[in-house]
Amino acid sequence: MKSSLRFFLFALIPACALAAPPGVENVELAQSKAKADVPPVEAVGTLPLPSVPASVAKEAVAASRQSSASLSERENVLGEEVETNVELKVKPGTTEIIRIARAYLNEIVTPFEDPIVITANQVAFEKRGSSIFITTDEERPVGIHIRSSDVEDARSISLALVPARIPPKTITLRWPNGMAGASAPASMTKAKRWEESAPYEEALFNLAKTVAQGQIPEGYSLEQTADQLPCALPEIEFFTGQRLTGHHFSMFVLRATNRSSSTVELLGHAGCNVPGLALVAPWPAAYLEPGASTEVFVAVANDAYRAQPTEMLRPSLLTH
């Protein structure tokens, strides 16, 4: 009898040892009742810690997932394919919006020989030649104005830079061809330096070559002119359309058209009797087939040239 009683008590002891004290829920039972989206309850010894309310746990899980998604989105932005070498046509008086790399150096190549930057925002920049290297830690857009250090050049480029998690960019700014502001304004200081960088005859040759290539010499201004130069050749129709003005010289661009029924060669001064005449150069052709046209570049010295009213000109007897 005693042996069987002892066996009975021995069998009950493990069950009693695993039972929780009165008023305290069993740890395993509490964990089994926890919902799947609620973190498991931790225990100290045999006493469980208070469980986290389901609503709080759900909010914490949602916030964690949102944070992870936001981080993933930001990483995707940094890894997106972005054009890192951009060419942009800019026009004075308008503002261009450009994305740049945040916290990285971005290069802005300007059309100015010696640019300066004006801004009221927190940006760091360094100038190298005509380029500006710029960076910012700002998260919001920053505004800058780029101007020339030449006081005679009043043009200004306005940019709104939008920092983003993208690779560093190189942005080349160019003036739009054929639009207002595309050509450089007159700067007598630059024009004088350009003209005096070579001997007289070489300077004239360089002037004609530059204009024939469709470029504007440094410091020169370009305008449509109403002055018709007194150029006259038999069966050749002349029209003066443009004038480029520098410090020492001005270059007139004429169109010459052969109205005869035979080929004509433009020789010498091409019939242009202009005060202060320094150079006459037809391009791209000196021989004109019937009906063909070419440009004629006529350079004059500014201190000797004076525009004359057409009705006051005397036609030369040698051209008739």
Residue 49 or 197, more confident: 197
Contact 25, 48 (CB under 8 A): yes
* Per-chain mean pLDDT for the chain: 78
Contact 294, 271 (CB under 8 A): no
Question: Given pLDDT bands bounded at 50, 70 and 90, which one contains residue 63?
Answer: low
What is the secondary structure of 26-66 as a DSSP string? -HHHHHHHS-TTSPPPPEETTEEPPPPPHHHHHHHHHHHHH
Residue 63 or 271, more confident: 271
Each residue's pLDDT tens digit, 211-231: 999 999 988 888 888 888 989
Contact 203, 227 (CB under 8 A): no
Each residue's pLDDT tens digit, 141-171: 999 999 988 877 788 999 999 999 999 999 9
H or E element: which one contains 109?
Answer: strand 106-109
Residue 100 to residues 33, 76, 127, 134, 263, Cα–Cα distance (Å)? 54, 16, 17, 9, 59
- 160 DSSP β-pair partners: 97, 143
> Is 279 a residue whose pLDDT tops 70?
yes
Question: Given pLDDT bands bounded at 50, 70 and 90, which one contains residue 175?
Answer: confident
HSE value, Cβ hemisphere, 13 Å, CA-based, for 166: 19
> Which pTM does this prediction carry?
0.47
> Is 240 a residue whose pLDDT tops 60?
yes
Among the listed ranges 9-13, 73-77, 250-254, which one has the minimum average pLDDT value? 9-13
